[in-house]
Amino acid sequence: MTLGSSGAGSSVVVPRNFRLLEELERGEKGIGDGTVSYGMDDADDIYMRSWTGTIIGPHNTVHEGRIYQLKLFCDKDYPEKPPSVRFHSRINMTCVNHETGMVDPRKFGLLANWQRDYTMENILTQLKKEMAASQNRKLVQPPEGTFF
């Protein structure tokens, strides 16, 4: 197993693969209300880079009743660097590129101000909160079931 790079500071630095295994276990156990869920895209990938996630649209928004599928890619430098997040389900949001579905780190605060202890669950939960934000809750959405 590849060890993650050791970081500065007095806190214990968890190597990359242990961190990903921990997140995988949390994803399988389903802690939370079930509106966001995630898991590995390819179970045979020993580097555990490719992940898939879903967000169920929050209530009282145009996203209510929709399921959005996402792809997250955790490269070797995760969790020092944030993963790249891309929507697979078509969505109209201010922080999502309209052609590719990529979440723009410059417009999504969690990716712009990434910290090591953030998790993929935090990303999905924050994206769900972003859907309920005032600038996104009433945007006209593409038809359900379409993909980028």
Partner 1 sequence: MKLTVKTLKGTHFEIRVQPNDTIMAVKKNIEEIQGKDSYPWGQQLLIFNGKVLKDESTLEENKVNEDGFLVVMLSKGKTSGSTGTSSSQHSNTPATRQAPPLEAPQQAPQPPVAPITTSQPEGLPAQAPNTHDNAASNLLSGRNVDTIINQLMEMGGGSWDKDKVQRALRAAYNNPERAVEYLYSGIPVTAEIAVPIGGQGANTTDRAPTGEAGLSGIPNTAPLDLFPQGASNAGGGAGGGPLDFLRNNPQFQAVREMVHTNPQILQPMLVELSKQNPQILRLIEENHDEFLQLLNEPFEGGEGDFLDQPEEDEMPHAISVTPEEQEAIGRLESMGFDRARVIEAFLACDRNEELAANYLLEHAGEED
* C-beta of 58 vs 105, nearer to partner 1: 58
53 binds partner 1 (CB under 8 A): yes
Phi-psi region of 100 (alpha: psi -120 to 50; beta: other; left: phi over 0): alpha
Is there a contact between 129 and 57 (Cβ–Cβ < 8 Å)?
A: no
Token pair belonging to 81: 């660097």
Name which position in 12, 43, 46, 140 contacts partner 1 (CB under 8 A): 43
Return the range that interacts with partner 1 (CB under 8 A); candidates 9-17, 21-29, 73-81, 111-119: 21-29
Q: Where are the beta strands (DSSP E) in the chain?
A: 36-40, 50-56, 67-73, 84-87
Q: Which among 14-22, 23-31, 79-87, 94-102 is the span making contact with partner 1, rule CB under 8 A?
A: 23-31
Cβ closest to partner 1, residue 4 vs residue 27 = 27
Q: How far apart are CA 7 and CA 13, in angstroms?
A: 6
* Site for partner 1 contains 30 (CB under 8 A): yes
Instruction: Tell me the site size for partner 1, rule CB under 8 A.
Output: 25
Query: Which of positions 55-114 make contact with partner 1 (CB under 8 A)?
Result: 56, 59, 64-67, 69-70
By CB under 8 A, residue 29 contacts partner 1: yes
Residue 118 CB neighbours (<10 A) = 16
Strand partners, 67: 56
Residues 6+ apart with CB under 8 A from 52: 38, 39, 40, 41, 69, 70, 71, 72, 88
Residue 37 sits in the site that holds partner 1 (CB under 8 A): yes
Q: State the residues that interact with partner 1 by CB under 8 A.
A: 27-30, 33-35, 37-40, 43, 51-54, 56, 59, 64-67, 69-70, 144
